[in-house]
Amino acid sequence: LANTFQGDGYPLIASLALSGLAFSATFSMIRWLGPTFMKAGLKGVDMSKHHKKELPECMGGIAAMCYLLAVIIFIPFPFYKDIVAATSGGGNRDVVMHVEHVQEGRFLHRFPHGKLASYLSAVMALQSISLLGISDDLFDIRWRHKFFIPAFASIPLLVVYFVDFGVTSVVIPLPLQPYLGELFNLGALYYVYMASVAIFSPNSINILAGINGIEVTQSIVIALLLAFNDCLYLLTPYPHPATDSHLFSLYFLLPFLGVSFALLWHNWYPARVFVGDTYCYFAGMVFVVVSILGHFSKTLILLLIPQIFNFVYSVPQLFGLVPCPRHRLPRFNARTGLLEPSVTVWTPERQPKPVIAWGLKMLDKLRLLRVTLDEEGKFVETSNFTILNLWLVWRGPLREDRLAMEITGMQVVVGLFGLFVRHRLALIIFRE
C-alpha cells in the first residue's frame, strides 16, 4: 500500500490510527455526556415509539469536536517531510522556508504553504459550521434564517480556491462542443455555484431526517462512496495527477467515518441519542470541503441524488404552496407499531387553491403523493412531501429500522450508479 501512495503512505496510516482514536473518544463521550446534555436542556422526544421517552439531543456536537481534534492533531503528519526538509540544512530558517535558493550546490526545499492553507481553510470551515449547528440546536433558529449560513462557512474555502486554483471553466459535453467550444468559462458564477453546493449539502441532509439512524447512515454512505472514489485515483499503476487532492480528501473522510460509526452505534434504532442539526450541517460541510478543495464537486452532486430528489420534492412545502408543519417525519401508528406517511390536514374552510389542487391530484395519479378526498371531492389530507413518506406510500407501513435500512440501501444503489456514470459514461460525453 505504501508503495502505491508514491512511497509515502505514512500520513495515511497516521490518519487511520487517529480515526480509530476519534471513534473510541466519540463512542465513550456520548455515553458519559448524555445525562449532562439532558440537564442542560439539550433533549428531544422520540416520537415514533410507544413510550415517548426524552433522549439527549445534539450528540453530533461531540462527534464534531472529536473530529476537529483529530484533524488538528493530524496537521504535522502530511507535512512532516516538508517541515524536516525545509528546516534542515542550517542557515536562517525564515530564509530557508520562504526563498528557494541554492546552498552547497543543492536546492533547498520550499515549504508547500498552499497545501497548508487549503488544509487550514477546511478546518476553519468545519469549525464555523459546527458553531452554527450547535447554536441551532440550542436556540432552534428559524429555517429561513439559518438556510444561508453555510455560505459564510464556505468563504475560507472559496478564497483558497481562488488563490490556489482559480479554475472557473467547465468542460462542455462533446455533442455541444461545436456550438460552445471545448471549455466554457463560468467566471464569478462558478463561485456562486460552489457557494450553492455549500448551502445545499448541509441543508439537504438535515431535511432527510426524522427516523432513528437515517441522518448518520446516509452520511456514512456518501463518505464511503467518496472514499471509494478517492481509492480509484490512488490505486492506479502510475501516479495520477489528482493524487494529492484525493489523499487530502481521505485525510478528512477517514476521521469522519470514525466519529460517524460511533454516533450510529448510539443513534440506530431504538435510538439512545439524537444527532441534532449539528451533525447534519457538519456532515454536509465535510463533503463540501473535500469536494471543493479536491475539485470534484460534480461527483458529490451525483452522490447527493436522493437528497436532491427529497429537496425538489419538498419544494411545495418549503416554499409554502402547501402548509408545512414543524415536523414532517412519518407518523407512528401505536396500534401496529409501524410507521405510516404523515399528513397535512385540510379543513373545508382551508382548501388548496385551484392550481395547487390540480397539481396535488396529478401527483396522486402518478403515485407521487397520497391524497384523501371526501364525498364532495374536498381535500381531507395529503401526505407530507418527503422521500420517507413517499417510500411509505409506495411500500405500505414499515417498522422504523426497516424504513431506515431500505432508504440507506437505495442511497447505496443510487450512489454506485452515480459513480458509474462519473467514470464510464463521462468518458463518452467528455473526452478525457
Residues 322-351 that bind ligand UD1 (CB under 6 A): 327-329
User: Least Å distance between CB 294 and ligand UD1?
Assistant: 28
Contact status: 277 vs ligand UD1 (CB under 6 A): yes
- Cell 508503495 belongs to residue: 3
- 210-249 footprint of ligand UD1 as x/- string (CB under 6 A): xxx-------------------------------------
Q: Which does 9 bind (CB under 5 to 8 A by kind): Mg ion, ligand UD1, none?
A: none
Would you say 141 or 186 has its CB closer to ligand UD1?
141
| Burial degree of 361 (CB within 10 A; 0-12, 13-18, 19+) | middle
Beta strands in 261-333 (DSSP E): 331-333
Please measure the distance between the N-terminal and C-terminal CA atoms of the chain and give it in whole angstroms. 27
Q: Give the interface segment with ligand UD1, choosing from 87-95, 207-215, 357-365, 413-421 (CB under 6 A).
A: 207-215
Pairing of strands 102-103, 183-185: unpaired
Q: Measuring CA to CA, which residue among 69, 72, 56 is closest to residue 25?
A: 69
Q: CB 150: neighbour CB atoms within 10 A?
A: 26
Q: List the beta bridge partners of residue 103.
A: 106
Q: Which does 288 bind (CB under 5 to 8 A by kind): ligand UD1, Mg ion, none?
A: none
User: Least Å distance between CB 79 and ligand UD1?
Assistant: 38
Residues 51-110 that bind ligand UD1 (CB under 6 A): 57
- Cell 427529497 belongs to residue: 310
Output the nine-digit C-alpha cell for 401.
Answer: 429500522
Residues 275-334 that bind Mg ion (CB under 5 A): 277
- 28-57 footprint of ligand UD1 as x/- string (CB under 6 A): ----------------xxxxx--------x
Q: Give the interface segment with Mg ion, choosing from 203-211, 246-254, 289-297, 381-389 (CB under 5 A).
A: 203-211
User: In the bound complex, which residue of the shown chain has the CB atom lying closest to ligand UD1?
Assistant: 44
User: Greatest CA span in the chain, whole angstroms?
Assistant: 94
- How far lies 400's CA from each of 258, 323, 325, in Å? 25, 25, 21
Would you say 121 or 206 has its CB closer to Mg ion?
206
Using CA atoms, how far apart are residues 430 and 170, in angstroms rounded to an integer? 11
Q: Which does 363 bind (CB under 5 to 8 A by kind): ligand UD1, Mg ion, none?
A: none
**Contacts of 244 by beta carbon, 8 Å cutoff, 6+ apart:** 115
Would you say 140 or 374 has its CB closer to ligand UD1?
140
Contact status: 206 vs Mg ion (CB under 5 A): yes
Helices (H), 99-213: 113-139, 143-146, 149-153, 155-164, 177-180, 188-207
Q: Give the interface segment with Mg ion, choosing from 8-16, 202-210, 285-293, 362-370 (CB under 5 A).
A: 202-210
Residues near ligand UD1 (CB under 6 A): 44-48, 57, 206-207, 209-212, 271, 274, 277, 327-329
Which stretches of the chain bind Mg ion, using CB under 5 A?
206, 209, 277
